[in-house]
Copies of this chain bind each other. A is one copy, B any other.
Amino acid sequence: MTEPRILATYHITSDAHHIEQRALGLAIEQSVECPLDAINDPAILDNILGRVEDIAELAPGRYAVQIGLAAATAPAEPGQLLNMLFGNSSIQPDIALADIALPNSYLEAFGGPRVGLAGLRARLGAPQRALTASALKPQGLSPDALASLAHRLASGGVDLIKDDHGIADQAFSPFAARAAAVGRAVRDANAKTGGRTLYAPHVSGTLDDMRRQLGIIRNEGIGALLVAPMIVGLANFHAIVNEAAGLVVVAHPAMAGAARIAPPLLLGRLFRLFGADITVFPNFGGRFAYSTDTCLELARAARQPWGELNACIPTPAGGIMLHRVNELLQFYGQDVMLLIGGSLLAAREQLTEQASRFVNKVADYGQR
C-alpha cells in the first residue's frame, strides 16, 4: 500500500538547460541524500527517493519545482518534517521552499490551533468585529512598570496584550514576577471594565523552561502565551501547544524571516498546523519588507479551510499606526487581529485613551 506523498513546491533559480538535473538533485537531497548508484535496494528507490512531479517556469530563470516526498521519511514530528522539507536545501542559495500539500494524516497528528479564530471570538465575546492587540515595551521595565502599562492598555479595551518578544526571563523582569504582576493588573482592569483582555507572556528557553513558565501561567490564571517557534524548535513548540490546552497560543516570527521559506507557508500554514491560534507577522509598509501579496497570502493560509483544522488568526504588526486601521481592515477583512505596539505606547500618559481610540475605530468599522 503506497502512502500518499507530501508535495513540496520549491522556487529555484536555474535555466532551461539545467533545471531538470537541478530538480532531480533536489529530489535526492531532500530524501536519500546520496548518489543513486550507492543504493542497492530497489524498494528505497521506489518508496523513499523523492520524485520530481512537475517543473513549471515562473519567470525567465525562475522555476517552480514540485517534489513528492515519501511520508515514511517524515513521521509526524515537526522538526523532522522541516528537516526533510528543507534541511539541507536551506543551505543552497538558489532555492526557496514555497508551499506544501500534506496528506491528511499529518493534519490529524499535529492538530492545528486548539482554540482558533472561532474559539477566541467566543472567549472575547466578539463574534463579528476585528480583534485588537498591543505589546508591553520596552524591555528593561520592571514587572510593576509593565503591569502599569498593561492595566492602562486593558482599561482601554484591547483584546490581547503580549510581552515584547525581547522580554523573556531577564533580571529586570523575571518571568514569575512579571506574570504575577501583569496577570493581576489585567484581571483588575477586566473586573473594572467588564472586559476580557488576555495577557500573553513570552515563554522561552528549553522545553523544561517553557513548562515551568506554563505552570506559572496556569497558576496565575493567565489565558494566553507567546512563543517564537523557530527559536525554541518546532517540535518543542508543538509539545507546549499540547500542554497549553485551553490557553490561546500566539506565535511570533522571530528568526523565521530569514529561513528562505515563503512566509505564507511558514508563518501561515506551518505555524497553524503545529498549533498557533494567532500568528504575528510583519505588515506591509511598516518596518519590514513583506509585500501586500505576501501578507494577503499569509492571511489566507492562516484562515482558509484546511482539513478539519481551526482557523489561525493573522496578526499584522510592526509599525502599524492608528490612522491605518480602516485601510487594513479593508485589506484583510475582519477575521484579523491588528497589533499596534510602539505607536500606542508613544501616547504615554494618554495610553488608555489612545488604546480606546484604537478599540473604537476597530469596533466602528464593523458597524458601517
Measured between beta carbons, the chain B residues less than 8 angstroms from A141 are 41, 44
Are A164 and B33 in contact, with the CB atoms below 8 A? yes
Copies in the complex: 2
* A256 CA / B88 CA spacing, docked (Å): 9
Measured between beta carbons, the chain B residues less than 8 angstroms from A231 are 79, 82-83, 87, 233-234
Interface SS, A side = loop
A39 at the interface (CB under 8 A from B): yes
Q: How far is the CB of A39 from chain B (nearest CB, A)?
A: 6
Given A34-B342, A254-B90, A341-B34, the answer on whether A140 and B208 have CB atoms closer than 8 Å is no
Closest to A260 in B: B258
Q: How many residues of A contact B (CB 8 A)?
A: 83
Chain A, 34-52, CB within 8 A of any chain B CB: 34-35, 37-41, 43-44, 47-49
* A121-129, A152-160, A281-289, A327-335 - the one binding chain B: A281-289
Are B206 and A239 in contact, with the CB atoms below 8 A? yes
* A58-66, A70-78, A109-117, A303-311 - the one binding chain B: A70-78
The 12 listed contacts between A and B (C-beta, < 8 Å) are: A29-B287, A31-B138, A33-B139, A38-B345, A38-B346, A44-B140, A49-B138, A74-B170, A79-B231, A90-B258, A91-B288, A258-B261
